[in-house]
Amino acid sequence: MTLILTPAAMCQCFTLVSLCTSIADPNWIQINNGSDSNNKLIYGVAFTLHAAQNLTHTGLLGGVNGLGMRLLYTLAAMCYCAVLLSSSSFLLDFLGAGFSHSRLVSSLHVSTAVLCLVVLGVSGACLYVIRQNVQKEALGPSTHTSGLSTLPGESFYIEILGLFFSVTAAAFSLCCRLEPIAPNQDLSEESGDGEGEREPLVGGTGKDGEEPNTH
């Protein structure tokens, strides 16, 4: 087994770290209260794991079955799928599968980059839905949402960094493909050169280079 830390594998390692960090950090979307800086709501992948206990905080998502909540579930699913693809492409590339299965490894790198882009798209869509719900609440009779502002959290920017690394890994895997090396190729070439230099011995030579007497 050949362990090779290619440039694509190194970039994919940073992509995996960025994905795991963005999932662990709960702040994908942040809602600040202008009148009270300490009072804020955050939504992210971690929020979906405890959505049943946070029913009172799902109003800006459109409720438990609202569009914003469904987008959050989609965001969580896409993040975990991206982690799976990123770890698979990194391990296969690091274990030397790029020599024999270069197309498979390259397709995994490209799929990871596409999925990271989808994650950002879903997060942006969820941010848009929440912002629209905040504006609707502000225009309504209730005044408790009048000073709210919606911003992307740090996980969103960490995911942008992960997208950059995944695109770089995909570019390295497509532009710098590893060519398979036949194990007996070098040995055969060396043996061929050695045979070319050797000359067969037809007969022995006598003293001082004289040919032996055959009579």
Tens of pLDDT along 27-60?
Answer: 898 888 766 666 778 888 888 877 666 555 677 7
pLDDT tens for 91-127 read 888 887 766 777 888 899 999 999 999 999 999 999 9
**pLDDT band of 7, cuts 50, 70, 90:** confident
Q: Whose structure tokens read 């029913």?
A: 55
Q: How far is CA 137 from CA 72, 145, 186, in A?
A: 20, 6, 73
Question: Per residue in 117-145, pLDDT tens?
Answer: 999 999 999 999 988 888 876 555 554 55
CATH number for the domain formed by residue range(s) 7-174: 1.20.140
Compute the distance between CA of residue 31 and CA of residue 45 in angstroms, rounded to an integer: 15
**Amino acid 53: pLDDT:** 63
Pick the range with the lowest mean pLDDT from 62-71, 74-83, 109-118, 199-208: 199-208
pTM of the model as a whole = 0.73
* pLDDT surpassing 80 at residue 78: yes
Rounded Cα–Cα distance for residues 27 and 52 (Å) = 18
